[in-house]
A = this chain, B = another copy of it.
């Protein structure tokens, strides 16, 4: 019997238990120190966010039982937020006795000692410091997956960005008739696509906030404009960072942006801003409802990261610049959007 530990009992961590359990995998679901109430609720009845009972194959672990949760498992799946990644990963390294393959659902950037990094870069550095002679077997899981839909077994594509081909043998534990796995060897491309689609979804949200009422929902041309330019800029960013443009033009990039920009927390965050709410207030309001708009920190970290890559790169990224001015510097959304559009193309 195959055993997996899932770290993080929020939306994504809990949702991935559905295809795993459908494949007969036994799952230890560990909640972080922020997840105690979720674990309580799952133990009593349903997962409070997914509104569903978890499978019988899931064993629940509170935050102080990490060591037990990861003991003798065949795979570790990390499903915490980008903010939670470093503390959880450091604790994991402290307790880990074997070196099972690690799959991460976390999207965004991390702030390490040496500044902003991709998650796998940060994780690998920490892993190698602790275990210089062990194998770092890593998969960044991306693609268009809303957790609530996955837990309802809606047909879903995902992409596994793997750092070595042997990981493929684990795909059969994830894949079901409704959860289809595509693969890529471009870990950087998958990770950056996942991080930046959260950022660019804010632009689509801003447009919704500005136009929804004014145009009674009739602004498909503008949404497509912003969607398309998001993909253009994500391709530029990924290529500049050593990833492949084609990764952006596939499930990790355009597929995932499609889901995230039509429905999701980052789109919602942008919508508030389009309606005139300041970014910090929008973020705090959503946080009170338990919703983290990861694209906000993604934008702030992303800009630091972009600046480091090349001096003049923001020139090639007019939509990211517009986002920076509106979201980070509180410039007027309507005026900035109009100016940005009028300076695009011919």
Residues of A within 8 A of B (CB): 144-146, 148-150, 152, 154-157, 168, 171-172, 175, 177-178, 180-183, 211, 215, 218-225, 227-229, 231-232, 235, 245, 249-251, 254-256, 258-259, 262-263, 337-338, 341-342, 344-346
- A157 touching B228 in the complex, CB below 8 Å, given contacts A175-B346, A182-B345, A346-B183: yes
- A249 touching B231 in the complex, CB below 8 Å, given contacts A181-B345, A182-B345, A262-B220: yes
Neighbouring B residues of A171 by C-beta, 8 Å = 346
Asked if A227 and B258 sit within 8 Å, CB to CB, the answer is yes
Q: How far is the CA of A211 from the CA of B222 in the complex (A)?
A: 26
Q: How far is the CA of A227 from the CA of B235 in the complex (A)?
A: 18
Asked if A255 and B227 sit within 8 Å, CB to CB, the answer is yes
Asked if B258 and A144 sit within 8 Å, CB to CB, the answer is no
Neighbouring B residues of A211 by C-beta, 8 Å = 154
Neighbouring B residues of A180 by C-beta, 8 Å = 225, 341-342, 344-346
Neighbouring B residues of A229 by C-beta, 8 Å = 157
Q: Which residue of B lies closest to A147 (CB)?
A: B221
Q: Shortest beta-carbon distance, A12 to chain B, in Å?
A: 13
Asked if B255 and A254 sit within 8 Å, CB to CB, the answer is no
Q: Which residue of B lies closest to A183 (CB)?
A: B346
Asked if B254 and A156 sit within 8 Å, CB to CB, the answer is no
Asked if B218 and A152 sit within 8 Å, CB to CB, the answer is yes
Neighbouring B residues of A251 by C-beta, 8 Å = 228
Contact partner, A249, options B182, B215, B249, Cβ 8 Å: B249
Q: Shortest beta-carbon distance, A286 to chain B, in Å?
A: 19
Asked if A259 and B341 sit within 8 Å, CB to CB, the answer is no
Q: Which residue of B lies closest to A219 (CB)?
A: B154
Q: Shortest beta-carbon distance, A198 to chain B, in Å?
A: 15
Asked if B154 and A341 sit within 8 Å, CB to CB, the answer is no
Neighbouring B residues of A338 by C-beta, 8 Å = 155, 177
Q: Which residue of B lies closest to A180 (CB)?
A: B345
Asked if B221 and A259 sit within 8 Å, CB to CB, the answer is yes
Asked if B254 and A220 sit within 8 Å, CB to CB, the answer is no
Contact partner, A144, options B145, B224, B245, B346, Cβ 8 Å: B224
Neighbouring B residues of A181 by C-beta, 8 Å = 345-346
CB-defined A-B contacts under 8 Å, sample of 11:
A149-B221, A150-B221, A152-B215, A154-B215, A155-B219, A156-B221, A168-B346, A181-B346, A223-B258, A224-B256, A228-B250
Contact partner, A228, options B144, B148, B168, B215, Cβ 8 Å: B144
Q: How far is the CA of A245 from the CA of B235 in the complex (A)?
A: 14
Known: A146-B220, A178-B342. 12 other contacts (CB 8 A): A145-B221, A149-B222, A154-B211, A154-B221, A154-B222, A155-B341, A156-B221, A157-B228, A171-B346, A182-B345, A224-B259, A231-B249
